[in-house]
Structure 1
Amino acid sequence: MPVLAGTSGWQYRHWRGVFYPPDVPQRLWLEYYAGRFATVENNGTFYRLPARETFSEWHARTPDGFVMAVKASRYLSHVRRLREPAEPVRRMLEAASGLAGTLGPVLIQLPPGLAADPALLDECLRQFPARVRVAVEPRHESWWTDGIRAVLTARGAALCWADRGGTPVTPLWRTADWGYLRFHEGGGDPWPRYATAELRAWADRVAAAWPRDATVYAYFNNDQEGAAVQDAAAFADLTRSR
């Protein structure tokens, strides 16, 4: 089972001297990162959608086989709250097409206060062509229903499995033939690291849920003190050894 593990973002200044050597300039951080991880989740696109040329530049700076997941703009998820999704989805995909073969899944992270609406979700997912993988990360408990699970499954979209404190905060539904995980904060020491036992438990869950040939993307969002890069590397090693 190919598990691609990386971090949520790569441009953290506090990673200098922790992950990035002091003599590597910031303009080369993506190259340095891509030499050590197979994937990254671009969470900067949530705040501002770059031009297609910027995506093309990122593609040119990374090696063959590298995968960049793209977090959907907050304009789609938090401003419009999934309403009238056609135009923001179209703009996002046109820009992200600059990644060409580097483009990985698109993550739609929903606001914590947004209650479930199966019809809105279905209409949003309908805007994506079948070739684009979409993961959805709801954060309101009203989304954990059979109706929502059915919409995700019918559209081939992955429910994002999310963790906080070493514990799942979402159902562990398998709604697509691929998977998407996000790790927000571990329960290990020092904070916010993940303990080895927590990472091993997640590796077991992934192995039990997907067949050997399924692709699973895993991103660590606990960027403080460079915890994300350490945990992503450890999780990659654990899943590889399995």
Structure 2
Amino acid sequence: MRLLAGTSGFSYKEWLGAFYPDDLSAKGMLAHYATRLPIVEINNTFYRMPNTAAIQGWRSQVPDSFRFAIKMPRRISHSKRLKDCGAELSALGTALADLGPTLGSLLVQLPPHARCDETALVAFLSELPEGWRVAFEFRNDSWHVPTVFKKLESRNAALVQSESDETFELKPWTADWAYLRLRRVDYSLEDLERWLERIRASRVAEAHVFFKHEDGATGPKLAAELLAMARGRRAVAP
């Protein structure tokens, strides 16, 4: 099983002196991040469609082995709620093409008030470009039913495993890969070991794991610790 762990976002001045060198500029953060962790979840694509210059800028700063997880624009997930998104998906595909092999996965995060619409889901899945790994985070329980899980399985789409300080429920693993968003403020070594055991027990071939951004750079520290556990050793704090 291949484990890729990182954080949601990378451009945080609060990490200077903890994860980043004190004098590192914002422009140098991604390149430095990519020397320490193998994947990052990009959230600003939720607010606007990424442009070519931004994509090429990201790509130029990371090696071929690095992976980006892209959060789909809110026009798709919130405004249109998966309906009639062919044009948006085409535009997104064009924008992301320059990422090449570094495009790891895409996240569709629906709003809590969006109730299950299996017809829209089936149509949306059929419109996804071949080769995309897409994960769905349904925040309304009406989606968490066997018929939805089977539809995700048919497209090898992942159901996001998410955890916060308030809620957690282990969900079905619907693909041969996994997408996890671990949002608690902190995790003990035992907590991380438990998650690693769950991932291994799922028998997925690859897992993308993202920790929450915290001012004290806890997220990258936890990602490094989980990666070290997967390699069979303990990490030194980044």
* TM superposition score normalised by structure 1: 0.91
Paired with 1:72 and 1:147, the residues of 2 have a C-alpha distance of 23
Match of 2:227? 236
**Conserved? CA contact 2:93–2:129, under 8 Å:** no
Q: Does 1:205 align with 2:198?
A: yes
SS in 1 for 2:216: helix
Match of 1:133? 133
Q: Does 1:159 align with 2:159?
A: yes
Number of aligned residue pairs: give it.
233
**Conserved? CA contact 1:193–1:222, under 8 Å:** no
Match of 1:100? 100
Paired with 1:200 and 1:208, the residues of 2 have a C-alpha distance of 12
Q: 1:167 Cα deviation (Å)?
A: 5.9
SS in 2 for 1:225: coil
**Conserved? CA contact 2:153–2:174, under 8 Å:** yes
* Gapped regions of structure 1 (runs ≥ 5): 186-191
**Over residues 180-213 of structure 1, what are the superposed CA-to-partner deviations in whole Å (9 max), with x where a residue is unaligned?**
111112xxxxxx11121211111110010015xx
**Conserved? CA contact 1:3–1:215, under 8 Å:** yes
Q: Does 1:44 align with 2:35?
A: no
Paired with 1:114 and 1:159, the residues of 2 have a C-alpha distance of 16
Paired with 2:104 and 2:64, the residues of 1 have a C-alpha distance of 13
Paired with 1:239 and 1:167, the residues of 2 have a C-alpha distance of 25
Alignment of 1:183-194 (within 5 A): 183-185=182-184, 192-194=185-187
Counterpart amino acid of residue 239 in structure 1: A
Match of 2:189? 196
Match of 1:88? 88
Counterpart amino acid of residue 184 in structure 1: R
Match of 2:59? 59
Counterpart amino acid of residue 200 in structure 1: E
CA spacing shift, 1:222–1:167, aligned 2, 3 Å: farther
**Conserved? CA contact 1:53–1:98, under 8 Å:** no
**Conserved? CA contact 1:179–1:217, under 8 Å:** yes
Match of 2:236? none
* TM superposition score normalised by structure 2: 0.93
Paired with 2:156 and 2:133, the residues of 1 have a C-alpha distance of 8
Paired with 1:181 and 1:154, the residues of 2 have a C-alpha distance of 20
Q: 1:166 Cα deviation (Å)?
A: 8.5
Farther-moved stretch of structure 1 (27-36 vs 79-88): 79-88
Paired with 2:15 and 2:120, the residues of 1 have a C-alpha distance of 39
* Gapped regions of structure 2 (runs ≥ 5): 234-238
